[in-house]
Structure 1
Amino acid sequence: MSRPGARDPHVPLATADVSTAADPKPRGQRPFARLVPALTIVSHTHATRIGERLLLHGLLAGREVTLSRNSPDFTRPGEPLGLPLGDPFMSRKPLLFAPAGEGIRLIPADGGRCTCAGEPLDRGREFGPEELARGIPLEFTGRVVLLLHLTALPEMDAPTSLGMVGESTSLRLIRRDIGRVADLDVPVLIRGETGTGKELVAQALHARSRRGGRFVSVNLGAIPKELAAAELFGSVRGAFTGAQRDRDGFFRAAEGGTLFLDEVGEASPEVQVMLLRVLETGELYPVGASTPVKTDVRLVAATDANLEAQISEGRFRAPLLHRLAGYEIHLPPLRERREDIGPLFLHFARQELEALGEAHHLTPSDPYAEPWLPAALAVRLLLHPWPGNIRQLRNVARQLVIGSRGQPCLELDPRLARELMLPVAPPSPVRAPEPEPTPEPTARRKSTEVGEPELLAALRAHGWDVKKAAQHLGIARSSIYDLIERSPSIRLAGDLGVEELIRCFHACQGDLDEMAKRLEVSKRALNRRVKELGLVPKHS
């Protein structure tokens, strides 16, 4: 069940803001002016073309945009010249992308084979703003995969790659944040899930800073808590058993440079107090010393923990968070920057192919050859939730390349298929046109007369069918959404997170009826969410 348009957080396509496609903005961030619909290549006969894109500017002006094998040209971001898709199996007859309110309608060409997550689009389909924000995989003739998504127009003074692969809006915002704060002696806190590349951002900050010293990386979660203070701040002879000489810590090792503290949420109370003193005074006390030592270190910290929750539980000091977060940079999870998945996968796979001497697979001489990255596998990569983020994607790329050694195309073995978890749904039968909706009867009650217990009982009794529940309650169908909005204990299918959906799918073995019962949402809307993830549900 999806919420009505009034609840949709996305703004009209022609004036879409970057905040519709990214996590909450870091402090001080100015959003891009607008988002533009785009198509990015994820699978192609020439795998080196992965990452090229086409900006659909015409849709913002209310015009249709056509696409065929011969036009228009796809270009790599930052390069002026490009090429059409040119796949010999694609139709010469153009398909259409047309504006449709806040979304986009795709109208396939006659005879062209286009699917979305395994579902044929023979009759076309309209994609709403939520789907566009997530990114929509489109597969053509079983060979070419394009991702339909939203992207921000590039800024003329935007920083270059900084060693980071990808051109998503969120990644460009990160590069801009790095450019703004790198040359300032301000502590930086990098936040994001595990595997999102926090150390890479810290290295980019150091490389663009004015400091000529070393970059020292420390994972606080890997240091025994009883040794952490001595490891960080150093110690003097006799400070503890085994301290037979004075010892410099990581702060002294990073003198004049940058100290990167990963998993800062794991810092012990003792270390937190000592870090706070360093940030406030620029002085540290080696363990066992009575005289402070001046230090000149740029501190960059990172965490995947909820530090605010730790503060409320008394496990982290609020003043330390305020000091560490002189400037915050938020790294979005990979599943929220799907347009970067293809280029990142190509980057990691190319490294492995070059080591094996098989880089020629990326540029076959035969245009009729099967794509090195099969279309079905490309769609799986796009739809996988990537709980391990970029680190997990790198590992998958390595396993695929090594496991397919000597083969012209990547092959997905059963074990890795289970890890990716997302089998592509088989083509659905062509549905008959839905009958015209019958006029809604006049409401017999005011929605204000319906309490949350009565609303919940009606939804449960009618399998979360909004229309039937509204008729049962005697209120207008449009009013029931307002009631749901005001009821904190009631969720809709659109509110479910990816991880929760996948866990429930496997726990219920794909049984939609059981999933709808457990999650207490509409079976019809749940079926749509499940298919968007590429999962194959069981229908009763």
Structure 2
Amino acid sequence: MRRDRAIEDVSTAIGKKRGGTKAARVVPALTIVAHPNADRVGERALLDALAPGKELELSRNAPDFTRPGAVLGAGLGDPFVSRKPIRLAPTESGGIVLRAGDAGTDVVVGARVRGSVEIEAADIDAGVPITLADRVVLLLHRIELDVEDGPVALGMIGQSAGIRRVRSMLERVADLPVPVLIRGETGTGKELVARALHERSPRRQKPFVSVNLGAIPRELAAAELFGTEKGAFTGATSDRSGFFRAAQGGTLFLDEVGEAPPEVQVMLLRVLEAGEFYPVGGRTPHSTDVRLVAATDANLEEHIREGRFKAPLLHRLAGYELRLPPLRERREDLGILLHHFAREELQSIGEAHKLAPKDPYAEPWMPATLAARLVRFSWPGNIRQLRNVARQLVIGSRGQARLLVDPRLDAELEERAPAPAPGGSAPSAREAASAPRRKPSDVHEEELTAALQEHAWDLKAAADKLGIPRSSMYDLIERCPSIRTAGDLRAEEIERSHREHAGDLDRMAAALKVSRRALQRRVKEMGLG
């Protein structure tokens, strides 16, 4: 790897604007998540005209929904959505009151709306699905305008502020010979970003080599990366090239870099500092010209505190750092991503025509109830999980007029879905008795366990008690090995409890210490009645 101190120093300032950073303008918006004509998915209507004392109308014909970057738009156009408007008005606290007419479109915001419902600011920040006429699903959320965007690269689909920032940052650093560290949860597309960096760099004609350090036995990692010389160990009868030589002149992507053994960390640090390495068993250094891109979903700072990762290596790897947003933070991209993956699967089986039916009165291929559930789902596996769910839905519904959900997937979607925002004519979408909002990281295991026990393992009630979003409950539970969900139970455990309690779900849930609702789905899936 070539050493260029000047470029390394400049890289840390990439993305800063002279005169300070301009704050992005944030406005509420409606984005189409599901529509009988899938080509409309991803179009949005900005609600920037919402102001105290003013109302906006939502109907079949207004407002215009426009694809980002386009000039012309159109109303929803679905014949089952009434011309009689639904009215949206802002509240003083930053929320929105939705008023549905008695004889107009059926509206669902978690539950069927009778009269009006107030959607609070915190719910809008997280994204609230609104179903119209059981056919169209809109996401009410906030959009950051004036966020710089880069070109769509290698399938990086989406228009959320988070993904636009990633594209912009990628474009700025791609042609510079600095190491890049990509951070993000599992399944967020770190290798996709690494490939995009390579394809937009001067090294695009040279090799791109991808290595998952978590998949290589620790005792073999150094030999795999740096190669070996004859006689280095028993069985080494000849010299062997490693991944660094294979990537010469190009890009080497090291995924799960937090899993690198200590000796490999030392060797990587030498590569980054001196542009050379020693093969295992070798005494002569080899120079290398490789652009290093690393990725991790681990907290490397915590690893450093625990002595498992070297601080100088982190500083070298992060010549420039990219953070990929999890899918739950970019819900406005969910609809277009889902339909993109579904289209790929439908084309492979010759059923792509389902996404744009010729008859406007035909029943939608994507049921609105399913689309709303997918939007509310927390997606712990992010883009990778979404692709797998799309494939399972399409193949499992092959030859059918509509998507069908098998019992296993149905239970999975319920287990990880936050509770829907309440509808109806209540004055607020939250209970007044809810605890003050707080950070999930402030909740300790004992407090979490006590809240679950107090509320009979009802995750929504426990989350309200603790003052955190329900979606955060699963992350907390995963960090507490003493706490389980219904999905963690073995089939024999459930069968034994079913016999002992004569099928009484309340007693079973209390004994197994899991959510009754989720347990009910497992029982149904297993055919226990």
Q: Quick check: 1:411 aligned with 2:386? A: no
| Equivalent of residue 355 in structure 2, options 362, 365, 368 | 362
Measured in 1, the distance between the counterparts of 2:471 and 2:189 equals 26
Q: Name the amino acid aligned to 1:405.
A: R
Measured in 1, the distance between the counterparts of 2:323 and 2:420 equals 37
Equivalent in the alignment of 1:483: none
Equivalent in the alignment of 1:305: 298
Q: Spell out, residue by residue over 1:229-286, the C-alpha distance to the aligned partner (whole angstroms, 9 max, x if none).
A: 1111111111122222222211111111111100001100010000011011111111
Decide whether the 8 Å contact of 1:59 with 1:65 is kept in 2.
Answer: yes
Q: Quick check: 1:95 aligned with 2:86? A: yes
Residue 240 of structure 2 aligns to a residue whose secondary structure is coil
Decide whether the 8 Å contact of 1:238 with 1:288 is kept in 2.
Answer: yes
Equivalent in the alignment of 2:258: 265
Structure 1 residues 230 and 425 mapped into 2: Cα distance closer, same or farther (>3 Å)? closer
Structure 1 residues 93 and 284 mapped into 2: Cα distance closer, same or farther (>3 Å)? same
Residue 50 of structure 2 aligns to a residue whose secondary structure is helix
Map residues 375-390 of structure 1 onto 2, 5 A cutoff.
375-390=368-383
Structure 1 residues 256 and 344 mapped into 2: Cα distance closer, same or farther (>3 Å)? same
Structure 1 residues 430 and 320 mapped into 2: Cα distance closer, same or farther (>3 Å)? closer
Shift of 1:504: 7.4
| Equivalent of residue 64 in structure 2, options 30, 54, 73 | 73
Equivalent in the alignment of 1:492: 467
Structure 1 gap segments, 5+ residues each: 1-25, 435-455, 465-489, 520-525, 531-540
Measured in 1, the distance between the counterparts of 2:95 and 2:172 equals 34
Q: How high is the TM-score relative to the length of structure 1?
A: 0.75
Shift of 1:345: 0.6
Q: Quick check: 1:245 aligned with 2:238? A: yes
Equivalent in the alignment of 1:225: 218
Larger mean CA deviation between 245-254 and 359-368 belongs to 245-254
Shift of 1:427: 11
Structure 1 residues 31 and 396 mapped into 2: Cα distance closer, same or farther (>3 Å)? farther
Shift of 1:425: 7.9
| Equivalent of residue 288 in structure 2, options 282, 285, 295 | 295
| Equivalent of residue 185 in structure 1, options 177, 199, 202 | 177
Shift of 1:178: 0.7
Decide whether the 8 Å contact of 1:27 with 1:328 is kept in 2.
Answer: no
Residue 249 of structure 2 aligns to a residue whose secondary structure is coil
Equivalent in the alignment of 2:36: 45
Equivalent in the alignment of 1:11: none
Measured in 2, the distance between the counterparts of 1:144 and 1:415 equals 26
| Equivalent of residue 124 in structure 1, options 100, 103, 116 | 116
Q: Name the amino acid aligned to 1:77.
A: P
Equivalent in the alignment of 1:150: 142
Residue 233 of structure 2 aligns to a residue whose secondary structure is coil
Decide whether the 8 Å contact of 1:195 with 1:392 is kept in 2.
Answer: yes
Q: Spell out, residue by residue over 1:272-304, the C-alpha distance to the aligned partner (whole angstroms, 9 max, x if none).
A: 000011011111111111111111111111111
Decide whether the 8 Å contact of 2:270 with 2:277 is kept in 1.
Answer: yes
Measured in 1, the distance between the counterparts of 2:284 and 2:419 equals 67
Shift of 1:336: 1.5
Structure 1 residues 62 and 340 mapped into 2: Cα distance closer, same or farther (>3 Å)? farther
- Ranges of 4+ aligned residues in structure 1 off by more than 3 Å: 26-32, 60-63, 422-434, 493-496, 500-511
Equivalent in the alignment of 1:477: none
Shift of 1:494: 4.8
Q: Spell out, residue by residue over 1:370-403, the C-alpha distance to the aligned partner (whole angstroms, 9 max, x if none).
A: 1111001001111111111111110110011011
Measured in 1, the distance between the counterparts of 2:46 and 2:385 equals 29
Structure 1 residues 224 and 122 mapped into 2: Cα distance closer, same or farther (>3 Å)? same
Structure 1 residues 361 and 227 mapped into 2: Cα distance closer, same or farther (>3 Å)? same
Q: Quick check: 1:54 aligned with 2:45? A: yes
Q: How high is the TM-score relative to the length of structure 2?
A: 0.77
Decide whether the 8 Å contact of 2:338 with 2:386 is kept in 1.
Answer: yes
Measured in 2, the distance between the counterparts of 1:317 and 1:249 equals 23
Shift of 1:430: 5.6
Measured in 1, the distance between the counterparts of 2:421 and 2:244 equals 59
Equivalent in the alignment of 1:334: 327
Measured in 2, the distance between the counterparts of 1:45 and 1:197 equals 29
Decide whether the 8 Å contact of 1:380 with 1:424 is kept in 2.
Answer: no
Measured in 2, the distance between the counterparts of 1:360 and 1:496 equals 35
Measured in 1, the distance between the counterparts of 2:420 and 2:52 equals 36
Measured in 2, the distance between the counterparts of 1:260 and 1:426 equals 40
Equivalent in the alignment of 1:196: 188
Measured in 1, the distance between the counterparts of 2:73 and 2:427 equals 40
Residue 302 of structure 1 aligns to a residue whose secondary structure is strand
Larger mean CA deviation between 217-226 and 174-183 belongs to 174-183
Q: Spell out, residue by residue over 1:19-38, the C-alpha distance to the aligned partner (whole angstroms, 9 max, x if none).
A: xxxxxxx9969565211211
Shift of 1:501: 8.1
Structure 1 residues 351 and 249 mapped into 2: Cα distance closer, same or farther (>3 Å)? same
Measured in 2, the distance between the counterparts of 1:432 and 1:233 equals 65
| Equivalent of residue 164 in structure 2, options 163, 172, 181 | 172
Equivalent in the alignment of 1:448: none
Measured in 1, the distance between the counterparts of 2:203 and 2:222 equals 25
Shift of 1:44: 0.9
Q: Name the amino acid aligned to 2:48.
A: H
Equivalent in the alignment of 2:366: 373
Q: Quick check: 1:135 aligned with 2:127? A: yes
Residue 115 of structure 1 aligns to a residue whose secondary structure is strand
Measured in 2, the distance between the counterparts of 1:81 and 1:40 equals 16
Sequence identity, in percent? 59
Residue 138 of structure 2 aligns to a residue whose secondary structure is strand
Decide whether the 8 Å contact of 1:36 with 1:60 is kept in 2.
Answer: no
Structure 2 gap segments, 5+ residues each: 1-13, 429-446, 456-464, 478-482, 490-503, 518-529
Structure 1 residues 505 and 291 mapped into 2: Cα distance closer, same or farther (>3 Å)? closer
